[in-house]
Amino acid sequence: MRFVLLGPPGAGKGTQAERLAKKYGIPHIATGDILRQSVKDRTKSGMLAKSYMDRGELVPDQILIGIIRDRLSSLDCSKGSILDGFPRTVTQADALSSILHRLNQKLDGAINLELPEEEVIARLSGRRVCRSCGTNYHTQFNPPKEGGKCDKCGGQLYQRDDDKEEAIQNRLKVYQRQTEPLIKYYKKEGLLISVDGAKEISTVFENLCEIVEGVKK
Ligand code: AP5
């Protein structure tokens, strides 16, 4: 099974994709995580991406399309995947469709996690991420057991540069301008599934599992 997770920044795409991937044993492909790793590794594309990411702008389509083409061609993606953060533009959505077509694969759905703007700001400003394993926490909604430390690996938690107030505002504008049109795009393709992302993490997860189970039948 193959799903795309859509939704504004902070909608819970990463949180839910990680759980779905674990439950259904398929790869979680998060373009934001791949880019942050490239920045950490100081690769050429990572260095180029950093300035866009820090400002809350989208990294150029061709970089992302190349990353996804390589990743989806890997053997571990042959049974399915959860795409988190890709596509984010109509150009990327068109590219995804041709990549999958070439691989003789198809999308089962584009799940849009809906979240009002006030919630986006509250979620992003409280998000903390593990420096070692990348697990997401929230100071209020999903706190670690011990302050500042990851429950899974004991790594140090930090605040992403693009979770600062100014970058959040820009990410929201960029989302509305460049990514929101994908809702219509996937509706037209008959693939759009909307889910209320404002519910509790476990409730959203149950709703997503029902959708996935429906597709598996
Ligand atoms: P990326 O990392 O993908 O950022 P994003 O889309 O803005 O998404 P987020 O990671 O901020 O949010 P999320 O929806 O995953 O929410 P999360 O689960 O973490 O991309 C970063 C940057 O990389 C982009 O700005 C761009 O520059 C670049 N980039 C990436 N992909 C690209 C592409 N395809 N094209 C071009 N550029 C690209 O949750 C957020 C917080 O809320 C957490 O603290 C979590 O614990 C909490 N939370 C989650 N769910 C709930 C809930 N139900 N209730 C309460 N709290 C919750």
Write the pLDDT tens digit of every residue in 131-151. Answer: 999 898 999 999 999 989 999
Which of 55, 149, 160, 187 is labelled catalytic? 160
Q: Is 137 in the pocket of ligand 1 (CB under 6 A)?
A: yes
Contact of 64 with 72, CB cutoff 8 Å = no
> Which atom of ligand 1 is found nearest the CA of 88?
34
Write the pLDDT tens digit of every residue in 161-188. Answer: 899 888 899 999 999 999 999 999 999 9
Which of 13, 19, 123, 128 is labelled catalytic? 13
CA of 206 to the centre of ligand 1 (A): 20
pTM: 0.93
Q: Is 71 in the pocket of ligand 1 (CB under 6 A)?
A: no
- Using the predicted structure, report yes or no on whether residue 55 has a pLDDT greater than 90: no
Q: Is 178 in the pocket of ligand 1 (CB under 6 A)?
A: no
Name which of 157, 93, 98, 162 is nearest 124 in CA terms.
Answer: 162
- Using the predicted structure, report yes or no on whether residue 114 has a pLDDT greater than 70: yes
Does 188 qualify as catalytic in the annotation? no
Q: Residue 23 and residue 50: Cα distance in Å, rounded?
A: 32
Which of 88, 123, 128, 149 is labelled catalytic? 88
Question: Cis (ω within 30 of 0) for the bond into 116?
Answer: no
Does 199 qualify as catalytic in the annotation? no
Does 88 qualify as catalytic in the annotation? yes
Q: Residue 20 and residue 4: Cα distance in Å, rounded?
A: 12
pLDDT score for 166? 85
Q: Residue 197 and residue 25: Cα distance in Å, rounded?
A: 23
Q: For the chain, which domains are there?
A: 2-27+74-116+175-216 (3.40.50.300)
The residue nearest atom 43 of ligand 1, judged by CA position, is 127
The pLDDT confidence band at residue 217, using thresholds 50, 70 and 90, is low
- Using the predicted structure, report yes or no on whether residue 154 has a pLDDT greater than 90: yes
